[in-house]
Each structure stands twice: as structure tokens, then as C-alpha cells.
Amino acid sequence: MAEFKISIKNDSGETLSGLRAVPDIKKDKYPAVILVHGFGVTKHEYGLFDILSKTLASSGFLVYRFDFSGCGESEGDYLNTTLTKQKDELSIILDFVRSESDVDSSKVFIVSQSFGTSVTVALNPEVKAIVFMGSISDPKKILSKIFEVSGDGYDPVGVSQMTRSDGSVTRIDPKFWKDLVNYDLPSLIRDIKCPVLFLNGSKDDKVPVSETDPYLLNVGGAKERMIVGGGNHNLYPKREQVAKLIYEWFKRII
């Protein structure tokens, strides 16, 4: 496989930095996978998406992954992020991928992680299938708690700030919390009719496995759930196993 830098613009004119992984096998059209990262992180997802991209591209999929605005190498300030803004950016990413000349637009898949699952549900994309990892169905509850325990604090009327394990700082404006009120994600997932695979690490200490339950109950299409024994929120140290599992699941559907 080979990987290339790409970029697109969001509705605010900000450049979103991405990567496109291409299989070694040459074809006119390929199935494609979009990887959707979580809250305030990057298109690498602490190495998880690097492994997924390599595994899927080596197995015949084009793989696309972008930094949301304010993250990684993309333009913008994450202070201004909202679920709506990320949903709109994912829509632009999906349209871009479908428009690629070597993408089979009938075989586009999504793999989303953590808050990326919330973004994906909010968009309700029409794709071949979706994998949700470390799902968040109530982002206000989960993220406010994470801000509180980070030592910096959750402030619904001011700037909420948290320091991550790598020392980086994530800051968000009150409009982030206000925007979440517009989304009843467990209800919205009823509109997702494609096959869905829910993955959770058995040792996830950031997002309870129970956060997946409302999605599992309400999702509109065929569904499967798998608990990855020993995996944490980022599915470490089971990432290679998870990558192979996702590929095998896609292969069954394609």
C-alpha cells in the first residue's frame, strides 16, 4: 500500500488535512473506508487508525481519514467546534470520497471511534455499512465527566478545558454544550438502515460499555455487537486483532 496527503475545505473555508491509503493491487474501482476520529484528537487516533488504514488498504480498500477542523494538521480552532460543525465536515468528506474517480460509490464504509460515533449518527450517512467503536450515545454526560476528572473542569457557561495524557490541552466554548441539546442520538440512529457492527473494549475506562446499549436497541438495520477482551477505549493492545475483525466483517457484507 501507499499513502498520500490530501486536503479539502469545510464550509468555513478551513482546510481539512487528510490521508488517502491506496492498495498495491491496481483496479478501476475500489471499495472505500472513511475513518472518523474522536473528540479533540487526530486522524491517527493514537496509532489505532494507522493500523486500521494499513490493514484495510493492504486488503484492497481505499482508506480516507481526515483531521476535523482545529485538530491535527487541519486549520481552525477547536474552541469553536460543535457536533453540528463536525457533522457538516463529515458530510463534505463523504461527498468528496464518493466523487473520487476510482471509488465504487456503492461500496463506501465508515469506521468511527468514540465521539466520532456521535458525529456519524448525527449525520445518518447512506453508506454500505458502519463500524462504531467505543460508542457515545450521550456525549454531554460522557464528555462533561471527562472534563471534570481531567482536573481542569467542565464549565457550561465558560471555556471548558482538559489536559490529556500526552500533555496536550483541549478547550471548548459553551456553544459546544448548547449544540448537543439539538441531538437525540439514540432516536436518530433509528434512521440508520445499513448493517452496523458495535465494538467495545472490555477494559474501556473512559466510556462505559453501556453507552452502546441505546444505539443497539434502536438502530434501524442489521446489527452485531462484539466485546474485545482486554481492549481499552482505543482498543489497545488488541488493535491488530480488531483490524482483522473489521476487514473480515466488511468482506462478508461486500
pLDDT, tens digit, 9 for 90 and up, residues 90-108: 999 999 999 999 999 999 9
CATH number at residue 110: 3.40.50.1820
**Alpha-helical segments (H) within 24-168:** 48-58, 83-99, 115-123, 139-149
Alpha-carbon span 39 to 51, nearest angstrom: 19
Tell whether 173 is covered by a domain.
no
Closest C-alpha among 192, 186, 232 to residue 209: 232
- pLDDT computed for residue 204 by the predictor: 98
Q: How many structural domains is the chain composed of?
A: 1
Tell whether 162 is covered by a domain.
no
pLDDT bin (cut points 50, 70, 90) of residue 152 is confident
Biggest CA–CA distance in the chain, Å, is: 53
Over pLDDT 70: what percentage of the chain?
Answer: 100
Q: How far is CA 206 from the centre of its chain?
A: 16
DSSP H/E element including 198: strand 196-201
Q: What is the mean pLDDT of residues 181-189?
A: 98
For the cut 90, the answer to whether the pLDDT of residue 79 exceeds it is yes
Report pLDDT digits (tens) over 27-77.
999 999 999 999 999 999 999 999 999 999 999 999 999 999 999 999 999
For the cut 90, the answer to whether the pLDDT of residue 192 exceeds it is yes
Closest C-alpha among 124, 125, 8 to residue 64: 8
pLDDT bin (cut points 50, 70, 90) of residue 164 is confident
Range of the domain at 13: 2-137+184-252
Tell whether 46 is covered by a domain.
yes
